[in-house]
Amino acid sequence: TMKRLIEATQFSMAHQDVRYYLNGMLFETEGSELRTVATDGHRLALAETPAPEGAAGGPGVIVPRKTVDQVRRLLDDGAGPVAVQVSAQKIRFEFGQASLTSKVIDGAFPDYMRVIPKGNDKQADIDNSVFASAVDRVATISAEKSRSVKLAFDLDRVTLTVRNMEAGQGVEEVEIGYSEEPFEIGFNARYLLDVAGQITGETAHFKFADPASPTLVLDPGDPGVQYVL
């Protein structure tokens, strides 16, 4: 469970952002849920699981990127329960014979619940592996994976387009489940591929409002995760 909470969110942590509180992962108990959240200001990932006994009332803390990476590696080395101790200044993970203690980042994590869209009423049901392969192919027309991919949605299909002034353009059409009005929206190709890499089921649910608003991506195979692009 701990491995899942980290893997589902760590890709969204910022890299050396001047907003130092984004260079880590929020670890908190909210109500009956234990939750990890990460954002770099462009995308957000949230994962949650029923909070274990003893977690209630603990402080929400921002765990530094290096600590998150080390915990992830330690989780690969063995199975069994992970004991976590949290204070306002430090967090400690115990894995059988090993333990890791780290300072936490002193700062206020953004109010992430305000970022998660609540009224996105257009939904596209997309085969995750087919879509990811299509994004990867059209993005190769660019020298950088970060080039924007335009997605044009129409009845039961989406057309992906990447344009490069020097190399021309890449276009691909993918069959999807979509019955709303046609519209277009652009995304960073790298962000699309990062989210696709976290989807555990065959299908991803993309929920849209309009081209200028954040998009919510849900994983039917894991209802405890949410992604915002």
**What's the pLDDT score for residue 42?**
93
pLDDT in tens, 208-229: 999 999 999 999 999 999 999 9
pLDDT in tens, 9-29: 999 999 988 899 999 999 999
Residue 29 CA, chain-centre distance (Å), reads 19
CB 210 within 8 A of CB 122: no
Lowest mean pLDDT, pick from 60-74, 157-171, 181-195: 157-171
Mean of all residue pLDDT scores within the chain = 92
Q: Is the pLDDT of residue 106 over 60?
A: yes
pLDDT in tens, 148-183: 899 999 999 999 999 887 778 899 999 999 999 999
